[in-house]
Amino acid sequence: MAPRVSPLDAASLNGTVPPRFGEVHIRNRGRLPHWEKEAGFYFLTFHLADSLPKEVLRKIAERHEILAEAKRIGARLLPEQKAQLGEYSRKRIEEYVDRGCGSAILADPRIAGAMTAALRYWDDKRYRLLAWCVMPNHVHVVIRLFSGHELGAIVKGWKHHVSKAVNHALGQSGKLWQREYYDHLIRDGDELKRAIQYVIENPAKAGLKNWCWVWNADQETGLIKDL
């Protein structure tokens, strides 16, 4: 049975009132910090393990170490450090993976279908899906997390389901996903609109014509139209 959604929370989902944003907690898992809030709105991205070369992954790790150390000691970044941070910014990384690097097995309809099924499985039970896009080597999702559920566990479940599907359909085992995922805690309605727009436009921007593995809630219910 799906968890109860209060009248105010339901109204924030269908656009009657603006979404509410409360206390934020920062947790560190592996290399990346994760900003989390009870019943928060999130823009998530996670990648196949081979979507970025090891050298790029190493540079990303170095970038986060630079930021963490600078924050710890209250120091200003050197010019060369600023240049490195710019070179491996989130935007640059997204531009890179949109080229479809690596095995890109999410373009296989069997695997894309398994990914879609995984996203929909707990919809309206542990979270509310607002938009998603399965790209050839990564996935974007915009969700509203329900109270009492943890974001990391949900992403882990999605990845596990698709890993099993890959093993069954392709006879392929081993590491499928990058360990980490990128999440952005959405703070207001404007950010939510921009995140959803980014997700539904991503295939076209990446040059994928007639891409069917993209969806937003407004297509079916008008749920987000007035946010």
Pair (47, 129) in one structural domain: yes
Tokens 């790209």 sit at which residue? Answer: 135
Based on the fold, state whether residues 111 and 83 are members of the same structural domain: no
User: Cα(122)–Cα(203) distance, rounded to whole angstroms?
Assistant: 25
Per the CB < 8 A criterion, the answer to whether 4 and 110 are in contact is: no
Domain boundary among 83, 99, 115: 99
- For 124-133, how does the pLDDT look when each residue is reduced to its tens digit (9 = 90+)? 999 999 999 9
pLDDT at 56 over 70: no
Please, which pLDDT band fits residue 223 given cuts at 50, 70 and 90? Answer: very low
Residue at 162 is within a domain: yes
Query: What is the domain count for the chain?
Result: 2
- The pTM assigned to this predicted structure is 0.68
Over residues 118-154, the pLDDT tens digits come to 999 999 999 999 999 999 999 999 999 999 999 999 9
Q: CB within 8 A of 165, min separation 6: which ones? A: 110, 111, 114
Residue whose C-alpha is closest to residue 176's, from 115, 133, 217: 115
Query: Closest Cα to residue 188, out of 43, 20, 35?
Result: 20
Across 27-41, 62-76, 203-217, least confident range = 27-41
Q: Are residues 81 and 135 in the same domain?
A: no
Query: Do 148 and 189 share a domain, yes or no?
Result: yes
Residue 224 falls inside a structural domain? no
Residue at token pair 């393990």: 49
Query: Does one domain contain both 63 and 137?
Result: no
Q: CA 220: distance to chain centroid?
A: 21
Q: Do 125 and 69 belong together in one domain? A: no
Answer yes or no: do 113 and 145 share one domain: yes
Task: Clarify whether residues 159 and 117 are in a common domain.
Answer: yes
Name the residue range of residue 19's domain: 7-51+103-219
pLDDT digits (tens, 9 = 90+) for 172-185: 878 899 888 888 89
Q: Does 225 reside within a domain? A: no
Decide if 159 contacts 176 (C-beta within 8 A). Answer: yes
Structure confidence by residue, pLDDT tens digits, 208-220:
999 999 999 986 6
Residue 187 has pLDDT above 90, yes or no: no
Task: Kindly state whether residues 74 and 183 are assigned to the same domain.
Answer: no
Same structural domain, 108 and 203: yes
**Is 227 among the domain residues?**
no
Q: Is 2 among the domain residues?
A: no
Verify that 46 and 66 share a domain, yes or no: no
Q: What is the pLDDT of residues 67-109, one digit of tens each?
A: 667 767 777 777 776 666 655 556 666 655 666 677 899 999 9
